[in-house]
Amino acid sequence: MWLFLAFLAIPIIEIALFIQVGGLIGLFPTLAIVVITAILGTWLVRSQGSQALRNLQSSFSELRDPTEPLAHGAMILIAGALLLTPGFFTDAVGFALLAPPVRIAVLRWARKNIKVTQFSMGQSASYSHSSHKRHDPRTNAGRGQGEIIEGDYEDISKTPKPTHPGSGWTKH
């Protein structure tokens, strides 16, 4: 229900703000502000987005929890969408989301009010290619994985040679 109200209220707020600002400063200055905020917002989103991507990559390379860099990246992406949407209210919210203290406050609120009931990564633990299983605590230390599943594989990346002469339509 709240999403429906947001889709209803935001355009009404934007129209009211356009009427008020346009009445105060005129049509062309109002349009110029909208275009300038879109350009400035795009530049800020690109710079902060690349920083967020570097933070995410470093969290992956250092095997840290990527939740916070992902959340910052998502909020920067939402800010970009809001800044590209013409309007004063969406621009204000978009610029606010580009401020790191606002993103940190939103992240704290989300951690406090959103409960994750289940999270998993990769394939399920019951999947195996072979029946030979062994447990080696030295290789699993600190990774949170239960057991090592050994298996055989065959490299199928080599392209097989055709068993028939070419049709002339393709090159073999």
- Decide if 72 contacts 103 (C-beta within 8 A): yes
CA 129 to chain centre: 33
Q: Could you give the CA distance from residue 70 to residue 90 in angstroms, rounded to a whole number?
A: 22
- Decide if 123 contacts 149 (C-beta within 8 A): no
Residue in this structure with the two tokens 């399920």, named with its chain if needed: 124
Q: Could you give the CA distance from residue 35 to residue 166 in angstroms, rounded to a whole number?
A: 58
What integer pLDDT is reported at residue 157 of this predicted model? 72
What is the pTM for the complete model shown? 0.62
What integer pLDDT is reported at residue 120 of this predicted model? 67
The ranges of the chain with pLDDT < 70 are 118-146, 158-172
Q: Which residues contact 24 (CB under 8 A, 6 or more apart)?
A: none
What integer pLDDT is reported at residue 171 of this predicted model? 59
Give residue-wise pLDDT tens across range 93-125: 999 999 999 999 999 998 898 887 766 666 554
What integer pLDDT is reported at residue 125 of this predicted model? 47
What integer pLDDT is reported at residue 132 of this predicted model? 42
